[in-house]
Amino acid sequence: MTAAEIRQAVLHILADIAPDEDLSNLKEDVPFREQLEMDSMDFLDIVMELRKRYRIQIPEEQYTELASMASTVRYLEPRMKDL
């Protein structure tokens, strides 16, 4: 998957987790925690959705890599490039 496709995949996950949220103006570098007020339960859900949909295993100490859209895509790119 390309960076743009990964971004889209993450957007789909966010839209599932927060269906009432308008994601069209999501800022790349602002943490999800601030923009969407996500909590630790939500981050766990992003991790589990990635595992469910793409079989990506993310160890707990690396959850912090998923802080914002930009960092998430950066982190996932090498792990999802062959999908």
Partner 1 sequence: MYDTVIIGAGMSGLAAGIRLAHFGKRVCILERHSVIGGLNSFYRQGGRTYDVGLHAVTNFAPKGSRRGPFARLLRQLRVTWEDWALAPQLGSAIVFPGAILQFSNEFELFESEVRLRFPRQVDNFRRLVSSLHDYDQFGASGANRSARQVVGEIIDDPLLVEMLFCPILFYGGAREHDIDFDQFSILFRAIFLEGLARPLTGIQMILKMLVRRFKDLGGELRLRAAVERIAVESNAVRKVVLQDGSEIETRNVLSSAGWAETMQLCDDEAEQPQSPPGRLSFVESISILNTPPGELGYDKTIVFFNDSEKFHYEKPDELTDFRSGTVCSPNNFAYSEPLSEGMIRISALANFDRWAALDPDRYREEKARCYEQLSASAARFVPDFRRAVVETDLFTPRTIHRFTGHADGAIYGSAQKSRDGTTRLNNLFICGNDQGLVGIVGTIISGISIANRHLLK
Task: Kindly list the residues in this chain that would bind partner 1 in the complex (CB under 8 A).
Answer: 16-21, 36-37, 39, 41-42, 44-45, 48, 52
CB of 18 to partner 1, least distance (A): 6
Reduced to 3 states, what is the DSSP secondary structure of residue 14?
A: helix
Nearer Cβ to partner 1, position 59 or 78?
59
User: Do residues 75 and 66 touch, judged by C-beta distance below 8 A?
Assistant: yes
Nearer Cβ to partner 1, position 3 or 18?
18
| End-to-end Cα distance, the chain | 6
Return d(Cα 76, Cα 62) in angstroms, integer.
Answer: 11
Nearer Cβ to partner 1, position 53 or 81?
53
**Cα angle for residues 35, 13, 64 (degrees, 5° grid):** 55
CB of 37 to partner 1, least distance (A): 4
CB of 57 to partner 1, least distance (A): 12
